[in-house]
Structure 1
């Protein structure tokens, strides 16, 4: 056996040792194993300085049985297929390591093949992988299950509940007055309290349940065999565990308590999210009663009812988006009563699974409350730009929520779609309500500048309902003011509304803005508004929201 081969040099050896790698050449016909640099091999494999160059048998003896089989299979497959291989294995105990990665290939040499392989230490990589694997399931602070893993286990449990093979109970426990601890002693002390509470819950449960940290100071707990006696006993044990002694922290002793909500898991509990919502609703009720309180979920719990409605409406909206049941109705905007209609406002509509229309007030407020309104904004924009591309003789107005404007990610997505459809932007007007815009004028200004750079026009909807200053009107470079309908409806018989409309019209003219009067519901109002100088009219007298009119002979379609 030779200790060194012709392919090695002092420079190569130093480079290999510096990078924690080594290289060897193996000739199976002779059994010779030659190292490119023995010092690098010692560094990688941890050989003692006085150990001579190890052969293949010594190298393989360092592998456990399973890794030995895996390596031999990889090496032989590479030889048969004339390909390279990569294999990771532990030298010694798999849990302790050290770990190495071997990359090799077979090269023809004379009448046989020789194996050339590079080996490097990957201990740090394995430690990172182990840590990431741990964090994927466990909470870094408490060492208990994290929210994601707890929900996964809850989902598995719910499947068993629905098949009648499980009868568990779900608890939601939260530490009382952690905000006060944070304020008085700091975050580090609050973390110590959270860790100690988790340990006490663990001891109180013993082998009778599973729990995880599902929020900052809140824990989800699954208890097997959720009978009424078991539920009450579990809640009592956890609450008593908090009272047994004060929590010793770096700031001194602190008394702790928890509030607990619980729900039985039954076939009617629904999904894991719905079950957790019920337990959380019971917890909220317990917290209303005061510190160290327990509440069992009841169907008439107000908070639970609201959460259930939110969950249901969230599902309705998301399914409607996925099934393309969100569509547009188009309300005409005209320059005069007798003028041709070429401009429309796009009003969002939704059909349920049976094809019936869902009134906008039934899902728009819920979408705003649930953080889904930006999805509706994007869908409306997609439908509108598609209509503009297919109908070159019309112009459209679309409404936009403040939620989309203020979220950088969704705002950029909205702007990206406009950028991709810039060819129709000169016929598109984006509407934002005055009250929303005033809430954060700087964000509004940046967004308006962006949409106008693509050629879009910008309108303030419901103008007169907020408190926009002259400076803000000028700063935003507004094209259109849409007068709030409460000042338009019945304007022909109201001197106060007439005065207000005149004032808004004078303001708009001074800033070079066009005006639209909404809620125009009768002919007298329409004629007076035009006499006052309103540029556009919109309302039920002009036309109700409907599908886009089709050319004669063309089949009417819905924008879905």
Structure 2
């Protein structure tokens, strides 16, 4: 029997028979979906829906859902047609379908609410005709249309649209963020390149960039060309940081960078190497021109800065010339550093050109530094003591402790050589503590004498020095008033406020203070008024001048008068002749020391000297007692007259 589809509401409006559907090859849902992937395979009405403005995703989803539902409906129709054919095969004259039979067909076909009617259903139900053996329609099957895929898609599409919109927004945001990050990365790369080539604080070429410029200049230098390389170091910049703080110090450096950049001569490059260190390169100049350019920079920086207060800064420089002092970066920088060290040892603001002997001096200082450290570790240092006598009567009042070093290979090494090395090498605190402990220990046997110990300016800058003195006095029980600490005027120049505080702390311990080599350096009457010194020691240069001119004696008398006016005792050193002793006594000096009285000697020699003096005194006392009473009065009168 043949069955045909009917009505516009049937699944397929093509006029094909139901039998043809039943007999044709069946396809899976996946195959049916694949068959409609291309839009050209769709019916014209569905392509029109796409042109109505749906998005590509919406349109494709709906197409797939409809195709799936169409395939499912075709399967149900095919199952119904197969079930009816099976019934007609049993009952060829079947014209009516009983309700029980309809339920069987409903379960067999999977259709929902299947009915059999003699007239087509007028509702929205799906219909399919049933034909008899002669091809006449004997009735109509109808059922509720089910399109699950379309229904699900209608429910999911709003959510999918929201998700799609979110994804699109996220993608747009991600693209914008990527673009922004790309821009920031480009700016960061530019900033990194700038940081690599420019110092951010001063605006000058950075350490690496400057040496790149130096390397290129050395590489392109012709055989007959010279160039100058100099290292600049700010003098006492730590004091600026202490006074203004690090932020103020940075501000000073920024102003210095501007001033240096504006003071450069033609063909010059200046860069910042470190915190307070700069480097200068000048192409095609001789040494005189290089030194003149360096001096101009020094004068420029010497002008005061105003950073909420007046700030004065000086700069020391070491200058080298290529090819005379080297043809490579390492040679020039090393020798410029040696020249700079020499400049720093001279005075602030010095400019020094490299000389060949500086290298030998550098190696000598390195050797001495190693040897001083070894001598400290092996207790190779010793102390000698030079007596200090009273100007009236010549009695010994005290001793000055003097460091001595007898090197195994070089013999006697004077303090003027190894003390500066210890100061520069960071060993002076240890060396000074050794001298202080040893001097106090030795002086403990000389109960009638005081001991005078020299103190380095480097020691005074260290706050721990006060604690060291206090600790040694407490440990030994030594009378503080018998300890005299000598220091030079140079200590007062670096930081007078801090130095004053240190001196007052020492005085609070009970020790006495002496200003050594007065008149040879930066003598200042204001210092003498403010600082708590007990003694003034006149420099030996004024003693030597006594034999040369009358002015020497006048200066000594002025110093003595100044000391007395300020309540200070006056000690003179370097007395070598009887004439000098008499003149200095007449000038009013209180105490003297020098080769005329005794040379520096070990403690055992001081013991013998004291014992000899005591023996001489005992002999003299016996002689006086043995004289007649009448002669004694005459002797006392003569003694008083002398």
Between structure 1 and structure 2, the one with the greater Rg is: 2
**TM-score normalised by structure 2 residue count:** 0.40
When the two structures are superposed, what TM-score results if normalisation uses the length of structure 1?
Answer: 0.46
Which protein is richer in strand relative to its size? 1
